[in-house]
C-alpha cells in the first residue's frame, strides 16, 4: 500500500465519525468546510517548515555537492507548494469578490418546494 493510500485511509477514518453523526447534507457540507478551514493554515505552515528544513540542510551541507543539490530540491518543492497554496487562496478570494459570494455562514443545500413532504 502506498504512502498516499495510507494517508488517505487515515484521513477517512478520522473524518468518518464526524460525518456519521451529521444528520443532513447541510451538516455534512458544513463539517467538511470546517475541517478544511482548520487544515489550511496547518498545511501552509508545514510547507513553510519544509522550505526552512531544506534551507537548514543547504547551509549545513556546504561542503558536499550531492547533499546541497538535495537541499536545493527540497527548497524548490517547498516554494512551489507555498506558491500553489497561496495562488489558489488568492483565486478563490478573487472569485468570491467577483461573484459577491460570502465565505462565512452556513451553506444551504438546494431544495425543491413540494418535494419530500
Average confidence (pLDDT) over 31-36: 78
The answer to the question of residue 106 being in a domain is: no
The answer to the question of residue 1 being in a domain is: no
The answer to the question of residue 69 being in a domain is: yes
**Domain of 43?**
20-98
The answer to the question of residue 87 being in a domain is: yes
The answer to the question of residue 115 being in a domain is: no
Q: Which cell numbers hold the place of 91?
A: 483565486
Q: How many CB atoms lie within 10 A of CB 35?
A: 15
Question: What is the pLDDT confidence band of residue 115, given thresholds at 50, 70 and 90?
Answer: low
* pTM of the full structure: 0.64
The answer to the question of residue 71 being in a domain is: yes
User: How many domains does the chain divide into?
Assistant: 1
What DSSP character marks residue 117?
Answer: -
What DSSP character marks residue 116?
Answer: -
Query: Tens of pLDDT along 65-107?
Result: 999 999 999 999 999 999 999 898 888 888 888 888 776 665 6
Amino acid at each position: 500500500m502506498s504512502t498516499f493510500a495510507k494517508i488517505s485511509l487515515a484521513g477517512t477514518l478520522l473524518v468518518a465519525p464526524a460525518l456519521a453523526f451529521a444528520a443532513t447534507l447541510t451538516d455534512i457540507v458544513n463539517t467538511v468546510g470546517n475541517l478544511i478551514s482548520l487544515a489550511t493554515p496547518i498545511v501552509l505552515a508545514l510547507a513553510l517548515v519544509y522550505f526552512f528544513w531544506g534551507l537548514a540542510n543547504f547551509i549545513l551541507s556546504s561542503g558536499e555537492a550531492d547533499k546541497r543539490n538535495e537541499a536545493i530540491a527540497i527548497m524548490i518543492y517547498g516554494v512551489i507548494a507555498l506558491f500553489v497554496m497561496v495562488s489558489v487562496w488568492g483565486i478563490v478570494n478573487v472569485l468570491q469578490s467577483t461573484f459577491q459570494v460570502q465565505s462565512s455562514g452556513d451553506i444551504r443545500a438546494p431544495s425543491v418546494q413540494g418535494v419530500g413532504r
